[in-house]
Amino acid sequence: MKMEELVRYAKTYGFIFQGSEIYGGLANTWDYGPLGVELKNNIKQLWWRFFIQQIPNSYGVDAAILMNPKVWVASGHVASFNDPLIDCKYCHNRFRADTLLEEATGKDADGLSHEELSSALKEHHVACPKCGKLEFTPIRQFNLMFETQRGVTEDKQTIYLRPETAQGEYTNFVNVQRSMRAKLPMGIGQIGKAFRNEITPGNFIFRTLEFEQMEYQYFLPEDQAMDAYAMLKQRAFDFFVAMGIDPAHLQFHDHTKLAHYAKAAVDIQYLYPMGYGEVNGTHHRGTFDLTQHESHSGESMNYRDPITNEVFTPTVVESTVGADRALLMVLHEHYAVEDLGEDTREVLRLPYVLAPFKAAIFPLIKKHHTDKALEVYQTLTASIRCEYDDTGNIGKRYRRQDAIGTPFCVTIDEQTLLDQTVTVRERDTMSQTRQLISDLPGFFQRQA
Ligand SMILES: [Zn+2]
């Protein structure tokens, strides 16, 4: 499926709209519609279950988006969270030097210095993608953090919209460890918005100015870190498989150039319409984060082992997933147009756990079956998200629910009024069974 088709599908069915659309939009911003927000919430809940609920000694936080600007000095973002940009001297278009090199040569430009990037561009005779000329300006830095001002008087202070959620997990390490009386290894995770002022083309919701991260930091003694790294790498993979992603569409990509403090880093990439793209990263970060915050804040970030009394700075292994990228992956993976012989149907084969609506409730004939259908709808909405639909003929209602991924349709008809049974129609097989209304809550419970 091409990206344009995915964008059109997402808009038509209420998953994703262009941000500020009535004003002509704002580049690289998107709004989640009624189905998009349900799907995203389900992805986030599944992540929470995999990382916070199921890894022992793991806790969630919800840290403020605005943080003391010293946080971003300590983290290195003020000094070096930059995109290396160059301009074509002839047509004056601006590009990211690393992207230019990667797209022209297929080489990994990750972690290359400006000098290395410049000489690689020359060595490979990389030309301007717009005009084909070979002369660029020197590489310049452009900080990716969004700045804003706090306060209204002369003593205004520049603060930043966080470019990642992880720092709120590091700065709360001692708070969480003490309040939860937690022993290492201990995990802290959160889901939240982050902001980056990027110039690169977006590929729909793959790269946006504002995005949502699901980040998990595992704090532990150094000698346990590589085992934890292997565990978290596999866990992210299992999380994607639980979302119904075919493992053949995923690949591990080890980083060849590492930050000076890092011991290992790997991405999981998914085969998106534009090619393989990162959807997860697992990073062995050493003691860099806590050491930096300790030296910039003056507060101890140490841990005392209750048995050996040893005092040390924990090592961190991080697992991060882009919520928007995960949603794009899920839509792309599960959407299909099925040939039914005389007809075709659009179908979104979402696993039950992710489906925005678990069931759609239909009265077969509007006037005759509405009361009973509303009664069934009311009963089921106590435990699952349902849609009620009495518009058009039953065939069209089935098609709409297939297209938005609803696993089951429940139809109330004449026989229902006689024996309290309904027709339950399954999305993927289109097979129908007759079930008692009183059995429905149990039936849906078993799907989850
Ligand atoms: Zn040019």
Report how far ligand 1's centroid is from the alpha carbon of 126 (Å): 11
Sign of the torsion angle spanned by Cα atoms 161, 165, 169, 175: positive
Residue 156 has pLDDT above 90, yes or no: no
Answer yes or no: is 348 within a domain: no
Answer yes or no: is 439 within a domain: yes
Report how far ligand 1's centroid is from the alpha carbon of 197 (Å): 23
**Number of separate domains in the chain:** 3
Which tens digits make up the pLDDT trace of 363-400? Answer: 999 989 999 999 999 999 999 999 999 999 999 999 99
36 and 99: one domain? no
Answer yes or no: is 39 within a domain: yes
* DSSP one-letter string for 322-377: EHHHHHHHHHHHHEEEEE-SS-EEEEE---GGG-S-SEEEEESSHHHHHHHHHHHH
The encoded tokens of residue 187 equal: 């995990």
63 and 112: one domain? no
What is the per-residue pLDDT for 305?
Answer: 95
Report how far ligand 1's centroid is from the alpha carbon of 85 (Å): 14
Report how far ligand 1's centroid is from the alpha carbon of 95 (Å): 10
Answer yes or no: is 425 within a domain: yes
Summarize the confidence of residues 300-323 as an average pLDDT: 97
Report how far ligand 1's centroid is from the alpha carbon of 120 (Å): 18
Residue 416 has pLDDT above 90, yes or no: yes
165 and 51: one domain? yes
195 and 290: one domain? yes
* DSSP one-letter string for 53-116: ITSTTEEE----SB--THHHHHTTHHHH-EEEEEEBTTT--EEEHHHHHHHHH----TT--HHH
Question: For position 111, which CATH number holds?
Answer: 3.30.40.230
166 and 294: one domain? yes
Question: For position 315, which CATH number holds?
Answer: 3.30.930.10
157 and 33: one domain? yes
Report how far ligand 1's centroid is from the alpha carbon of 104 (Å): 14
Answer yes or no: is 376 within a domain: yes
168 and 268: one domain? yes
Residue with tokens 């024996």: 419
Report how far ligand 1's centroid is from the alpha carbon of 127 (Å): 8
Report how far ligand 1's centroid is from the alpha carbon of 97 (Å): 13
Question: For position 420, which CATH number holds?
Answer: 3.40.50.800
What is the per-residue pLDDT for 249?
Answer: 98
24 and 91: one domain? no
Which tens digits make up the pLDDT trace of 262-287? Answer: 899 999 999 999 999 999 999 999 99
Residue 310 has pLDDT above 90, yes or no: yes
What is the per-residue pLDDT for 393?
Answer: 94
What is the per-residue pLDDT for 247?
Answer: 98
Residue 209 has pLDDT above 70, yes or no: yes
Cβ contact 117:98 at 8 Å: yes
**Of 124, 143, 162, which closes a domain?**
143
**Mean pLDDT of the chain, nearest integer:** 95
Report how far ligand 1's centroid is from the alpha carbon of 27 (Å): 22
Answer yes or no: is 283 within a domain: yes
288 and 428: one domain? no
**What is the Cα–Cα distance from 35 to 41, expressed in whole angstroms?**
10
Answer yes or no: is 350 within a domain: no
Q: What is the pTM of this model?
A: 0.93
255 and 381: one domain? no
Q: Where does 368-445 show beta strands of DSSP type E?
A: 386-388, 408-412, 421-426, 432-436
185 and 296: one domain? yes
The encoded tokens of residue 294 equal: 């300790």
User: For residue 436, what are the domain limits?
Assistant: 357-447
Answer yes or no: is 351 within a domain: no
**Of 116, 143, 170, which closes a domain?**
143
155 and 118: one domain? no
Nearest CA to 288 out of 313, 269, 305, 268 is that of: 313
Report how far ligand 1's centroid is from the alpha carbon of 428 (Å): 50
**What is the Cα–Cα distance from 110 to 102, expressed in whole angstroms?**
9
**Of 143, 161, 179, which closes a domain?**
143
What's at 157, amino acid-wise? Q
